[in-house]
Amino acid sequence: MPELPEVETICRYLNTVLPGKTIQKTVLLLPRQLRHPDPASFTALTEGKTIDGCSRRGKYIRLGLSDGTELILHLRMTGSLYYTPEPQDDRYARLYFELDDGGRLMFSDLRTFGTIAAIVPGETYSVSGMETLGPEPLENDFTSAYLFGKLKRSKAPVKSFLLNQQNVAGLGNIYVDEALFLAGIHPLRHGVDLTKLDAEHLVGAIRQVLEAGIRDGGTTFRNYRNGEGGFGEHQEHLAVYHRNGEPCRRCGTVIEKIKVGGRGTHFCPHCQPLPEHDPATDDMTDHNN
Ligand SMILES: [Zn+2]
């Protein structure tokens, strides 16, 4: 699933090619992925409009049109949004815009969990999950004081806490595992048991892994494609994610994989120890899943 660095990579590229281009034709191939408004209104709202630019909030992509209308896309599991200078076959295309330069902006989605909405200025419609997003982790309001305050009230494993978009926006399974490794924090430790210093380390680690992911153009395991339809490179540089059974790059201990809140979770048992008598130890029963 594309996370913050992947969505950021897509937006940065689209901002180099889309601004100033006009949508000549809107082709909605799978209307059920459109959340708002109805297909006919969506077409009327987009055709003939010029694209201003692309921005990101959490894992949501916002495409601004010249009249203030915003298109909001969420790629979910397997969605991609890319520009192609000439028409090309894509069997998973669900929506595309024909642009006045002969190119197309394509929304492609194998498993069709992605969502699309168009919102006109002043409209009260809000995209599900967007209003309650926590702070952007690369912005200044994501501080260790903020994080510590939230952690203190959380009895969930820190892995689940960080996946909750209401606590911090844009993190997913890959970058949470990477950040916890870098901060030296075991994924099963409970928020309430973490110290101020842990929160400081975590803020620094989250920023560091996200910035590295953006620098490498995102992480591709299966479906993620950047704004040009190409692959990311960050999978070559991961410390723990998808490396279970392999030696830790820092200490040589074998990386383990467990399930936390139903999600595959990778960590180094030596670099991310569980403190003795930590109540999180009780959760280790589903160790082999
Ligand atoms: Zn290690």
| Cα–Cα distance for residue pair 280/274, rounded to 1 Å | 8
Least confident of 137-151, 155-169, 227-241: 227-241
Q: How many CA atoms lie within 13 A of 225 on its CB side?
A: 20
CB 28 within 8 A of CB 34: yes
Tell me how far the alpha carbon of residue 106 lies from the centroid of ligand 1, in angstroms.
41
Instruction: Name residues with Cβ closer than 5 Å to ligand 1, which is an ion.
Output: 248, 250-251, 253, 268, 270-271
Averaged pLDDT for residues 242-264: 97
Tell me how far the alpha carbon of residue 233 lies from the centroid of ligand 1, in angstroms.
23
pLDDT at residue 275 in the model? 85
- For residue 85, name the pLDDT band (cuts at 50, 70, 90): very high
User: What are the pLDDT digits (tens) for 99-138?
Assistant: 999 999 999 999 999 999 999 999 999 999 999 999 999 9
- For residue 287, name the pLDDT band (cuts at 50, 70, 90): very low
Tell me how far the alpha carbon of residue 31 lies from the centroid of ligand 1, in angstroms.
48
Tell me how far the alpha carbon of residue 240 lies from the centroid of ligand 1, in angstroms.
9
pLDDT at residue 280 in the model? 60
According to DSSP, the β-strands at 79-84 and 104-109 are antiparallel
On average, the pLDDT of the chain sits at 94
Averaged pLDDT for residues 148-154: 98
User: What are the pLDDT digits (tens) for 54-76?
Assistant: 999 999 999 999 999 999 999 99
Tokens in use for 125? 């419609």
Q: Which residue ranges form the domains of the chain, and what is each CATH number?
A: 4-119 (3.20.190.10), 144-286 (1.10.8.50)
Nearest residue to 46 (alpha-carbon basis) of 62, 70, 16, 29: 70
- For residue 20, name the pLDDT band (cuts at 50, 70, 90): very high
The catalytic position among 35, 62, 249, 263 is 263
Averaged pLDDT for residues 32-40: 98
CB 274 within 8 A of CB 189: yes
pLDDT at residue 279 in the model? 58
Tokens in use for 75? 């790629």
**Does position 286 have pLDDT exceeding 50, yes or no?**
no
User: What are the pLDDT digits (tens) for 184-227?
Assistant: 999 999 999 999 999 999 999 999 999 999 999 999 887 788 99
123 among known catalytic residues: no
pLDDT at residue 223 in the model? 79
**Does position 288 have pLDDT exceeding 70, yes or no?**
no
Tell me how far the alpha carbon of residue 151 lies from the centroid of ligand 1, in angstroms.
24
121 among known catalytic residues: no
Averaged pLDDT for residues 137-141: 97
- For residue 277, name the pLDDT band (cuts at 50, 70, 90): low
Tokens 């642009």 label which residue? 99
2 among known catalytic residues: yes
- For residue 91, name the pLDDT band (cuts at 50, 70, 90): very high
Tell me how far the alpha carbon of residue 252 lies from the centroid of ligand 1, in angstroms.
6
The catalytic position among 5, 8, 49, 59 is 59
**Does position 284 have pLDDT exceeding 60, yes or no?**
no
Q: How many other CB atoms are found less than 10 A from the CB of residue 65?
A: 20
263 among known catalytic residues: yes
What is the number of helices (H) and of strands (E) in the chain?
6, 11
- For residue 276, name the pLDDT band (cuts at 50, 70, 90): confident
**Does position 289 have pLDDT exceeding 70, yes or no?**
no
* pTM recorded for the entire structure: 0.93
Tell me how far the alpha carbon of residue 287 lies from the centroid of ligand 1, in angstroms.
18
Tell me how far the alpha carbon of residue 166 lies from the centroid of ligand 1, in angstroms.
30
